[in-house]
Amino acid sequence: MAEAHQAVAFQFTVGPDGIDLHLCHEALRQVYLSGLHSWKKRFIRFKNGVMTGVYPGSPSGFIVVVTSYMSYNKYKQLDPSLGLIAKLGQHVPISRYMSTDTQKIVGGVLVGTGLWVTIIIIMRNVLKCLLSWHGWMHARHGSLPLSTRLWMLLVKVFSGRKPMLYSFQSSLPRLPVPSVKDTCSRYLDSVQPLMDAEKYERMKALTKDFEENLGPRLQWYLKLKSWWSSNYVSDWWEEYVYLRGRGPIMVNSNYYAMDYLYVFPTSIQAARAGNAIHAIMLYRRKLDRAQIKPLMLLHTIPMCSAQYERMFNTSRVPGVDTDTIQHVNDSKHIAVYHKGRFFKVWMFYDGRLLLPREIEQQMERILADKSHPQPGEESLAALTAGDRTPWAKAREAFFSRGKNKQSLDIIEKAAFFVTLDDTEQRLEPDNPVTSLDKYAKSLLHGKCYDRWFDKSMNLIVFKNGTMGLNAEHSWADAPIVGHLWEHVLYMDPNQLGYDEAGHCRGEPHPNLPGPQRLQWDIVPECQETIQSSLTVARALADNVDCHIIPFTDFGKGLIKKCRISPDAFIQMALQLAHFRDKGKFCLTYEASMTRLFREGRTETVRSCTIETCAFVCAMVGDETREQRLKLLKQAAEKHQNMYRLAMTGKGIDRHLFCLYVVSKYLGEDSPFLKEVLSEPWRLSTSQTPVQQVELFDLVKHPEYVSSGGGFGPVADDGYGVSYIIVGENLINFHISSKRSSPETDSHRFGINIKKAMLDMLALFQLENNAN
């Protein structure tokens, strides 16, 4: 155990001549370098905190303002202190310590600093007012009116020159609270096509009663919260939707991200892990230094970056009634799982981050380790895959002291979790359907005991070098993890690369301490709980039916030529496919973001509208092509308008959700809210956005396409559909459902999606041929 010897900084022996002290200089050197690294990190965080705190101000701006102020007063022969020093001198004997000229300089600097701070406050508030206007969303793509261009120019002027990741947080407007009347009206409009006349009239009566009686009272408390908190939705959404759920988070909450479809940079598992882990740690360094550029719509409009704060060093901790999120400021190690054993791997040595070849060296040591799992260790992570309450009780009973607590702390406080999977996954040209479906299921749940589902993210590297991510959902939404994953996929083959043999570039470290095997003492009673959780998790995993469709017939490029939004086109195709699949319409969830507001997360777009249903009925009926095309354009326009409303804080579901929470706090029972929140989402959809398009040149390298990611079904008799629009010619669909439902079949639904996409495109192609 070389690492154990190097961890001891000194030893001593007691003899007749006194105490003989033996110092280990290498250990002391590592301690010194580690401390130096920590202090550098603290200084950088402090500096970034100051720079973010005064943004859009800057040190150069401070010098310009103070110098200009002092020069103006000197030219006009005015007192730069505005008499403040003289007034202060009446109470404090300043003249004893400073000359008159010095007093003027100090006073001028203080007044100039106040002027600089005033300018910053004015710029922030002007920017906040500018960002509260959302008229730019209604402009046609590619043709912005003059008013919008002037508005964008003003936003750029007041946004400063070099923003860091969190620079705009204090300038973002707060999420507005819609009126009860507007929300109720939009809700009725959304459910009308899903109800018969009798049920709709009943719902109208419930809605009217709520709008006139209980609603205004609940709204008052909600507005009070919106004035007091940064965001009136996000904290309750995190707590009640995610952390208070007592069912398994595996499949039901966690989601996954896939590797490249057609590129396999190396088949060496340890090498792929080395590059991927190094790329993730580089991203974390940029995140710690706030060097990641804030995401900007139209390269001008900033989006909230709050969700990035808990990306690393974060774990969900189970509780009997509710979970909590544990986040530590820094972590210098990762936790690795391989064949039933857990390891701690330090990411720093000699005061620096390990290089890819050195990380590969550590992974090779783990892969070569022939030791057996300790009793109960192999399936331990099944606790994170099963129900939350048994896991919380087991954690308190068996992991709150001794070596079990130490090992659990190492996992929960790790930067992230890595699984060196002993299976092989990738797209197989001879068997594309089955191989991709198996790959998706492996990332979604694996063996139910070989991922630590509570960690903010799990990097999974398979035996043949393919990789993927599994992410916990409560701390952030998928686009945040997607931003990291794009960075990793770009860095791996393009910046880091491999040698001719498939290993990471560079040389192994001759003195690098090896990984540390975690130690456990898992008693038989705890092992029974583990097996019970594993049984629950396996039943859930075996019930999931996943299907991946790389749709290559056409993509965004051709859809845009039809002058229709690609997202709206796909949503209409999903509605048509669902109707053909089940013969009925259903309540549909499409995730939209509200990150135009401070600490914004998501809002629901209810895609199944009156216009959508009219279009679908036309497609399965006898209407003419012209009628179908007209109805499609109307449905797409309605969908786009609803998406705009959701993005600008005028959605339906988050408002009703918060009103429901307030009603529970007040002890009020609302039949309207109770019914609204109990309605199942039988079609849950989400688009995975490509956020860093500049990283991937799909024209020159079309093979570098990501297959996106997916999630489990929300309803027992419904579908979960995630899709990613890649480049101009590819759309990848990830479909999930439950095998236990006789109404659903992911493969059948995939066929219907493909047919719907082609049938809809044919409407436009026929129109173009006619023209």
- Token duo for residue 409: 């702390």
Q: How far, in Å, are 6, 20, 554, 728, 762 from residue 759 at the CA level?
A: 68, 86, 12, 19, 5
Q: Which residue has the tokens 């904290």?
A: 235
- Token duo for residue 488: 């990793």
Residues 6+ apart with CB under 8 A from 197: none
Residue whose C-alpha is closest to residue 152's, from 302, 300, 293: 300
d(CA 139, CA 131): 16
Preceding peptide of 93 cis, ω within 30°:
no
d(CA 284, CA 280): 6
Q: What does 285-340 look like in DSSP terms, one character per residue?
A: HHHHTT-SPPPEETTTEE---GGGGGSSSEEEE--SS--EEEE-S---EEEEEETT
Q: How far, in Å, are 181, 237, 395, 655 from residue 213 at the CA level?
A: 12, 25, 46, 17
Q: How far, in Å, are 74, 106, 112, 138, 257 from residue 69 at the CA level?
A: 9, 13, 6, 43, 54
Which residue out of 338, 473, 487, 655 is catalytically annotated? 473
Q: What does 476-501 look like in DSSP terms, one character per residue?
A: --HHHHHHHHHHHHHIIIIII-B-TT
Strand partners, 709: 257
| Cβ(474)–Cβ(238) below 8 Å | yes
d(CA 690, CA 489): 12
Backbone angles phi, psi at 738, to 5 degrees: -110, 130
| Cβ(360)–Cβ(271) below 8 Å | yes
Q: How far, in Å, are 121, 321, 461, 570, 681 from residue 607 at the CA level?
A: 41, 34, 36, 11, 11
How many other β-carbons are positioned within 10 Å of the β-carbon of residue 612? 28
d(CA 47, CA 651): 38
Residue whose C-alpha is closest to residue 513's, from 672, 332, 667: 332
d(CA 559, CA 728): 9
d(CA 135, CA 58): 30
- Token duo for residue 637: 């326009």
Q: How far is CA 659 from the centre of its chain?
A: 26
Rg of the chain (C-alpha set): 29
Give the 3-state secondary structure of residue 732: strand
Strand partners, 589: 606, 684
DSSP E strands: which ranges in 359-416? none
| Cβ(662)–Cβ(222) below 8 Å | yes
Backbone angles phi, psi at 517, to 5 degrees: -75, 130
In the residue annotation, 22 being an active-site residue is answered as no
Helix (H) or strand (E) holding 460: strand 457-461
| Cβ(488)–Cβ(280) below 8 Å | yes
Q: State the maximum Cα–Cα separation within the chain, in Å, rounded to a whole number.
A: 106
| Cβ(473)–Cβ(255) below 8 Å | yes
- Token duo for residue 630: 């007209």
The angle subtended at Cα 471 by Cα 41 and Cα 389, nearest 5°, is: 105
Q: How far is CA 317 from the centre of its chain?
A: 18
d(CA 95, CA 85): 10
- Token duo for residue 197: 């006349």
- The catalytic site residues sit at 473
